[in-house]
């Protein structure tokens, strides 16, 4: 009898911010079970928690250890503010009612205050190590001897549950690169479900072709579905590419005609249905866990098979300025992943309608960013730098601040 053996890979560090949140616990279970990074990838899990909640975190730590997940290498509890190099993957779970957009007229609840305090404090402590230290070591000869044998450091992944968190992390951190920040979007799956439901193929959404999303949030967005809309469909290659997206035979089999399914429906009713469905999203723990782990898996897949795999998907990132977007601001964009890098998919860059929609999306992004950044800077000065907020023993916010090399939560 022959047995197939896959050796375990060297452990990667996954740091879970706000680890006691239900969504964070679900994510931890999926990661440790091997459904995100692979069944042979060992995990060193770090549960980041407030210092006055360590007892609860240690109970969670014990519970996870007792499950004996196949990918578990170690689990530790920490209340130290993380640095850029402290993990390979950073997961940020917030308690914002809508993690993609802040209602600035209603942010005085204790839960949102705690979330702002947490992420702003961490962002203010993040900075990418400067290469000067490595250069100094090389000059002294300390690294030359083993330079060939050293493994290239991984580019870390910072994944959050929405655009607000990655905007804060990028804006308030000292020099964190734009291309390491990610968040999921529900618009892709909503668009597939909406179109599949209308075309009566909702039972298997993989039949719907690739969906490309450009968005400022769940209300201001633009969607294009790659033609043919149904992957196995055959359309006339000589037809007008802007009009024929479903073959005549398939239209007849679905009992549709151009009066109830046409370009006008895709530009108006299709978008309204997506917007209505997205507005009902409660951003519950199951949704967050499913979306974040799916997004993490998509990012990680290209890192495992760097030479052969490319991943085409839409997700939240900090823009590099492509397609006329505002560089340094958060968007949902269609991306092409290859290895540890990504570029914006420009397959529709010459589309006149998309150019118009990008201007509309830019306006929403700029308006929100210009409100969020001053709010966060004021919050940082009043509640972090000046330490105006002194939590009591029952508060869930940070319980102490010192000025040592390792700050605590």
pLDDT in tens, the chain (409 residues): 455 556 888 999 999 999 999 999 999 999 999 999 999 999 999 999 988 999 999 999 999 999 999 999 999 999 999 999 999 999 999 999 999 999 888 876 677 888 899 999 999 988 887 665 444 444 455 444 444 434 567 899 999 999 999 999 999 998 899 999 999 999 999 999 888 888 777 545 557 888 999 999 999 999 998 877 777 655 554 443 344 566 666 666 666 665 566 677 788 899 999 999 999 988 999 999 999 999 999 999 888 876 667 788 999 999 999 999 999 999 999 999 998 999 999 999 999 999 999 999 999 999 999 999 999 999 888 887 766 434 444 444 444 344 333 556 6
Q: What is the pLDDT of residue 400?
A: 38
Going by C-alpha positions, the residue among 165, 219, 220, 102 that lies closest to residue 330 is 165
Cis link prior to 228 (omega < 30° from 0)? yes
HEC sequence for the chain: CCCCCCCCEEEEEEEEECCCCHHHHHHHHHHHHCCCCCCCEEEEEEEECCHHHHHHHHHHHHHHHHCCCCCEEEEEEECECCCCCCCCEEEECCCCCCCCCCCCCCCCCHHHHHHHHHHHHHHHHCCCCCCHHHHHHHHHCCCCCCCCCCCCCCCCEEEECCHHHHHHHHHHCCCCCHHHEEECCCHHHHHHHHHHHHCCCCCCHHHECCEEEEECCCCCEEEEECCCCECCCCCCCCCCCCCCCCCHHHHHHCCCCCCCCCHHHHHCHHHHHHHHHHHCCCCCHHHHHHHHHHHHHHHHHHHHCCCCCEEEEEEEEECCCHHHCCCCCEEEEEEEEECCEEEECCCCCCCHHHHHHHHHHHHHHHHHHHHHHHHHHHHHHHHHHCCCCCCCCCCCCCCCCCCCCCCEC
Q: What is the pLDDT of residue 347?
A: 92
Q: What is the pLDDT of residue 93?
A: 95
Contacts of 251 (CB under 8 A, 6+ apart): 257, 258, 261
Q: What is the pLDDT of residue 65?
A: 96
Q: Where in the chain are the domains?
A: 9-141+151-185+367-385, 187-280
Q: What is the pLDDT of residue 407?
A: 58
| Torsion sign (Cα): 127, 93, 389, 398 | negative
Cβ atoms of 71 and 39 within 8 Å: the answer is: yes
Distance CA 44, CA 31 (A): 10
Q: What is the pLDDT of residue 358?
A: 97
Distance CA 328, CA 167 (A): 9
| Longest CA–CA separation in the chain, Å | 75
Q: What is the pLDDT of residue 131?
A: 63
CATH H-level, domain 9-141+151-185+367-385: superfamily: NAD(P)-binding Rossmann-like Domain (3.40.50.720)
């Amino acid at each position: 009898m022959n047995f197939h053996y896959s050796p375990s890979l060297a452990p990667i560090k996954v740091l879970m911010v706000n680890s006691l949140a239900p969504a964070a616990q679900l994510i931890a279970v999926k990661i440790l079970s091997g459904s995100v990074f692979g069944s042979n990838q060992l995990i060193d899990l770090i549960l980041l928690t407030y210092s006055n909640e360590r007892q609860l975190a240690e109970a969670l730590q014990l519970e996870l250890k007792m499950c004996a997940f196949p990918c578990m290498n170690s689990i530790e509890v920490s209340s130290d503010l993380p640095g850029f190099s402290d993990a390979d993957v950073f997961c940020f779970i917030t308690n914002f009612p809508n993690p993609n957009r802040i209602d600035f007229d209603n942010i005085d609840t204790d839960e949102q205050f705690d979330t702002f305090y947490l992420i702003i404090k961490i962002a203010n402590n993040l900075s990418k190590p400067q290469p000067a230290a490595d250069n100094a070591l090389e000059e002294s000869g300390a690294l030359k001897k083993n330079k060939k044998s050293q493994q290239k450091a991984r580019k870390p992944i910072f994944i959050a549950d929405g655009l607000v968190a990655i905007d804060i992390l990028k804006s308030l951190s000292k020099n964190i690169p734009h291309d390491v920040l990610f968040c999921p979007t529900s618009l892709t799956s909503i668009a597939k479900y909406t179109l599949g439901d209308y075309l009566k193929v909702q039972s298997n959404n993989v039949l719907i072709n690739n969906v490309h999303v450009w968005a400022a949030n769940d209300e201001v967005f633009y969607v294009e579905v790659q033609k043919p809309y149904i992957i196995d469909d055959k359309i006339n290659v000589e037809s007008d590419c802007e009009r024929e997206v479903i073959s005549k035979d398939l239209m007849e089999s679905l009992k549709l005609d151009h009066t109830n399914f046409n370009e006008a429906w895709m530009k108006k009713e299709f978008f309204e249905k997506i917007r209505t469905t997205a507005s009902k999203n409660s951003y519950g723990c199951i949704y967050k866990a499913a979306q974040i782990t799916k997004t993490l898996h998509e990012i990680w897949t290209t890192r495992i098979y760097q030479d052969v795999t490319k991943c085409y998907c839409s997700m939240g990132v900090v823009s590099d300025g492509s397609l006329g977007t505002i560089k340094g601001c958060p968007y949902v964009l269609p991306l092409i992943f290859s290895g540890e890098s990504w570029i914006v998919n420009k397959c529709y860059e010459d589309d006149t309608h998309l150019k118009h929609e990008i201007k509309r999306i830019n306006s929403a992004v700029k308006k929100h960013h210009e409100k969020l950044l001053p709010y966060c800077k004021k919050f940082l000065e009043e509640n972090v730098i000046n330490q105006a907020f002194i939590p009591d023993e029952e508060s869930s916010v940070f319980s102490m601040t010192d000025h040592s090399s390792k700050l605590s939560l």
